[in-house]
């Protein structure tokens, strides 16, 4: 009887030992869970594959249940393998999405920089236009005493008291004050140049009148240079009896035609020639 009990006990111990011989952990499942932990810590995955990561977590939970509750090694290994492959795939996808996001951000940054540069250029242009307008307005105010006229060519001053005797190019005594005022304006606006245009009435021949109008413009130029205006800021042209300002049929008209007109440049120093 004692021998029978001993045999049954030994058999029970053998069965028990056989059951305990099954490993407590599954290497494939452990590797998959380690891969999951590493992948879940990846910032790119967190940003771009959180949903896929959660599905892998569910798959690993099922695999763990198969192993711990049912000791189903085949099903556990299958699910762990699938989870590992999906982790590899979502890491690749997360990296691609990160690269695309960086490219999109870089493109947006380039667009922002271009927009800011365009806005800055527009502000500079507007500022330049405003400054040019203020300068032109200031010039016109400064020339108001000389009766400057705004024309399509620019501001033109006809020096009314710098008129010439018939056939003569000498400046008359009343011209000095006007020329001094004109020189002061030019000194206050150093960005401007002037074109002195000389004219004559119809008395005499055309060639003589052309030379005479040249001498008249040269006389005004010399006077401005004496007042301190740089010679390179003054250009001279002669038109003779062309472009009369009044009727040459009267003495008063002919006197107005014996004149020098002063054309002011724009703020860049450009002159609008006839």
pLDDT at 250: 95
Kindly report, residue by residue over 5-25, the tens digit of the pLDDT: 444 444 444 444 444 455 788
DSSP annotation of 196 reads E
Model confidence at 177, pLDDT cuts 50, 70, 90, reads confident
Residues 216 and 209 sit within 8 Å (Cβ to Cβ)? no
- In the β-sheet with 149-151, what is the strand arrangement from edge to edge? 149-151, 154-158, 260-264, 194-198, 234-238
Strand, coil or helix: what is 93?
A: helix
For residue 25, the SS3 value is coil
**Rounded-to-integer distance, Cα 62 and Cα 76, Å:** 8
Q: Taking 70 as the threshold, does the pLDDT of residue 4 lie above it? A: no
Q: Is the Cβ–Cβ distance between 39 and 91 less than 8 Å?
A: yes
- pLDDT the model gives residue 21: 52
- For residue 160, the model assigns a pLDDT of 63
> What Rg value do the Cα atoms of the chain yield, rounded?
50
Q: What is the pLDDT of residues 88-120, one digit of tens each?
A: 999 999 999 999 999 999 998 898 898 888 888
Question: What is the chain's length?
Answer: 274
Instruction: Please indicate, yes or no, whether the overall pTM of this predicted structure exceeds 0.85.
Output: no
Q: List % helix, strand, coil for the chain (3-state, nearest 5).
A: 65, 10, 25
Cα separation, 60 vs 75, in Å, equals 11
Rounded to whole angstroms, the Cα distance separating 166 from 203 reads 8
pLDDT confidence of residue 171: 86
pLDDT-derived band of residue 1, with 50, 70 and 90 as boundaries?
Answer: very low
pLDDT score at 48 = 92
Model confidence pLDDT, tens digit, residues 197-239 = 999 999 999 999 999 999 999 999 999 999 999 999 999 999 9
- Closest listed residue to residue 201, CA positions, set 251, 238, 262, 248: 248
- Can you tell me the distance from the alpha carbon of 65 to that of 79, in angstroms, rounded to the nearest whole number? 11
Mapped onto helix, strand or coil, the DSSP state of residue 98 is helix
- CA-nearest of 198, 145, 197, 186 to 269 is 186
| CA pair distance 128, 137, nearest whole angstrom | 14
Interval 115-168: pLDDT, tens: 888 888 888 877 777 777 887 788 889 888 888 999 999 999 997 656 688 888
| Per-residue pLDDT tens digits for 16-49 | 444 445 578 899 999 999 999 999 999 999 999 9
How far is the C-alpha of 262 from the C-alpha of 196, rounded, in Å? Answer: 5
- Integer Cα distance of 233 and 227 in angstroms: 13
Percent of the chain with pLDDT over 90: 67
Given a contact cutoff of 8 angstroms between Cβ atoms, the answer to whether 159 and 220 are in contact is yes
């Amino acid at each position: 009887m004692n021998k029978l009990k001993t045999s049954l006990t030994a058999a029970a111990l053998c069965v028990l030992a056989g059951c305990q011989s099954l490993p407590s952990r599954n290497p494939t499942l452990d590797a998959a869970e380690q891969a999951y932990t590493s992948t879940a810590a990846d910032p790119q995955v967190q940003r771009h594959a959180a949903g896929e990561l959660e599905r892998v977590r569910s798959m690993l939970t099922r695999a763990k249940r198969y192993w711990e509750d049912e000791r189903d090694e085949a099903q556990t290994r299958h699910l762990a393998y699938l989870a590992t492959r999906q982790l590899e795939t979502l890491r690749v996808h997360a990296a691609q999405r990160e690269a695309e996001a960086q490219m999109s951000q870089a493109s947006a940054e380039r667009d922002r920089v271009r927009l800011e540069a365009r806005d800055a250029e527009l502000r500079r242009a507007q500022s330049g236009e405003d400054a040019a307008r203020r300068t032109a307005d200031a010039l016109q105010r400064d020339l108001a005493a000389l009766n400057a006229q705004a024309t399509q060519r620019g501001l033109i001053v006809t020096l009314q008291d710098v008129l010439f005797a018939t056939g003569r190019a000498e400046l008359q005594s009343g011209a000095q004050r006007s020329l001094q005022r004109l020189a002061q304006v030019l000194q206050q606006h150093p960005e401007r140049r002037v074109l002195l245009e000389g004219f004559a009435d119809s008395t005499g021949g055309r060639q003589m009148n052309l030379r005479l109008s040249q001498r008249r413009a040269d006389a005004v130029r010399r006077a401005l240079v004496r007042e301190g205006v740089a010679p390179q800021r003054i250009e001279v042209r002669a038109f003779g009896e062309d472009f009369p300002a009044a009727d040459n049929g009267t003495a008063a008209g002919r006197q107005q035609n014996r004149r020098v007109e002063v054309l002011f440049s724009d703020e860049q120093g450009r002159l609008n020639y006839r």
